[in-house]
Structure 1
């Protein structure tokens, strides 16, 4: 139980993001690179958390580029910091994003480059070795990682490596209206990161992020991506980002509305877990295909199973997610 005056664990986790301000000082001018333009709610939560961090710490974003419209010949003043979007795409599962980071490191050797909290995963050890070699050649690269496994991989290869929670935690708290209907939502991955334990959970409704998007949404996403591609060819003259951020807010609100229909969330999506925690909603986190969820929870959110907040249980309400033998 929390003592009176003690911070909720989600506030404590949010406060741990202050370590990022030791590398990106308040008042800095930054370029936000690789912000997501796709329908993954987790990445959109990271993006909104990153923007909230910039606002809360008085950091000025001078330019923003997605991986679609980024040009390595874009001129960036040397006193601007290049800040790369965080998440779980550091590795060879999502090569476009890894390639973009490597291009930025090569193009902006006189700028500080900061990679926000990532989980590192390579299927190919040789590709991992090659990628770290390229990144380590930059004289002022700072890498934040979200779990100890990633930290151990990077600390001997990159000069400046730090542990920090996911940037979405900067959004805490998000509003929630528990329905008290004792119903469970299972938000389970259906992609290449899906885990092995998902068939063992009981639920009242099953969903995944892609099901939040209608045919119209998918068509609109294709149009947005085509527009971003055109913007790259036109040297970033089209003001697309405000339109996309408006749509991203709508998609996040849709995910929150889905969660608010249920009292408890069972999920194999890391950001299904994090969104539940941001909304102080009881949840159970299952692992993904390569241990990302387990590693993250053990480092940051495991304490949430032991406490409640204003009468609401937050975090891993149903007990120990990962037995000692796992």
Structure 2
């Protein structure tokens, strides 16, 4: 078989997403479940990449639901594929999304269920075993994972689920061109949540660069708008097309992130999608690891061939997941 030559490593990563078409063929009818409704720009980039993938490959989305408005007992035709949003919330750190994922697998044994690229992390292996008991009862379950550690763990636990190694869905957005010319030196796009590390805190003490995270990138009005849309989805939107409104608003939010990154010559980040966005923009960037090795594992699996990107990590915690 002829080897394909790619002009840029990011071209290859985007092309690798095409493997998903073996499970979700072009022209498939699907339900897209668990799309993000919050201010984490990384998940919004995944959503935009996912929607671009559907559009580029003529996959027909018949309905969209978030974790806030998915109705229990929803009738889904057996010939429709249920597609679950990817990301880094597979495990016991983010129970609302894991609960929905397991509910879907339990309630729809007759549908093909596809989970788009995820990173797996459990603090408690008993919770992982509980998930495995649920998954192993489904006969047409497909899980894409973003790193080799997740794949190894999933293949041990999930006996009937098909497991595949695949890059993050945001790679479908390659290339992203910013209209902003860089006039600042360094953006430090660093976590402010439970996944930050002592190494990051030492870096912060140096005081170099401009500091930002998703929570500070989006201003108070934008954060309030996100909360309003969340409340509408939880309570029922009546005649308002809230999903369509959210789609348009997230175009604006992602555009704001692109424009802000575009102002800097280089990025230093502990956010996986700070790294991926920088790579999508072909911008020099340095990636710090997060608390459980997700970032380092992703870099070593996919992006270490990108000359504009490098990893700054004392060690990976990925082997210490339990």
TM-score of the two chains, using structure 2 as the length reference? 0.91
SS at match of 1:142: strand
Q: 1:197: how far off?
A: 1.6
Q: 1:106: how far off?
A: 1.2
1:259-283 deviation digits (Å, cap 9, x = unpaired): 1111000000000000000001000
Q: 1:199: how far off?
A: 3.3
Inter-CA distance 252–261: structure 2 relative to 1 (3 Å threshold) = same
1:126-147 deviation digits (Å, cap 9, x = unpaired): 1111012112211100000000
Output the CA distance in 1 between the equivalents of 2:101 and 2:26.
Answer: 23
1:315 to 303, 306, 309: 309
1:187 is aligned to 189
2:26 is aligned to 26
Output the CA distance in 2 between the equivalents of 1:325 and 1:230.
Answer: 42
Would you say how many aligned residue pairs link Structure 1 and Structure 2? 308
Output the CA distance in 2 between the equivalents of 1:259 and 1:315.
Answer: 15
Output the CA distance in 1 between the equivalents of 2:184 and 2:246.
Answer: 35
Q: 1:177: how far off?
A: 5.1
The reply to whether residue 279 of structure 1 matches residue 273 of structure 2 is no
SS at match of 2:139: coil
Moved over 2 A (4+): 156-159, 176-182, 199-203, 320-326
1:60-71 residue pairs with structure 2 within 5 A?
A: 60-71=60-71
User: Contact 2:115 / 2:144 at 8 angstroms: preserved in 1?
Assistant: yes
SS at match of 1:161: strand
1:161 is aligned to 163
SS at match of 1:169: helix
Unmatched 5+ residue regions in structure 1?
306-313
1:165-214 deviation digits (Å, cap 9, x = unpaired): 00000000001357454601000000011122213445320111100222
1:310 is aligned to none
SS at match of 1:189: coil
1:30-79 deviation digits (Å, cap 9, x = unpaired): 00000000000000000000000001111000000000000121111000
2:217 is aligned to 212
Unmatched 5+ residue regions in structure 2?
318-322
1:226-237 residue pairs with structure 2 within 5 A?
A: 226-231=231-236
User: Contact 1:231 / 1:238 at 8 angstroms: preserved in 2?
Assistant: no
Output the CA distance in 2 between the equivalents of 1:200 and 1:174.
Answer: 32
Inter-CA distance 238–109: structure 2 relative to 1 (3 Å threshold) = farther
1:37-186 residue pairs with structure 2 within 5 A?
A: 37-158=37-158, 159=160, 160-176=162-178, 179=181, 181=183, 183-186=185-188
Output the CA distance in 2 between the equivalents of 1:39 and 1:198.
Answer: 22
RMSD: 1.8
Output the CA distance in 1 between the equivalents of 2:209 and 2:299.
Answer: 25
Output the CA distance in 2 between the equivalents of 1:213 and 1:323.
Answer: 31
Q: 1:216: how far off?
A: 1.6
SS at match of 1:263: strand
1:217-240 deviation digits (Å, cap 9, x = unpaired): 2222221111001228x7xx6421
Inter-CA distance 322–110: structure 2 relative to 1 (3 Å threshold) = same
User: Contact 2:196 / 2:291 at 8 angstroms: preserved in 1?
Assistant: yes
User: Contact 2:28 / 2:60 at 8 angstroms: preserved in 1?
Assistant: yes
SS at match of 1:88: strand
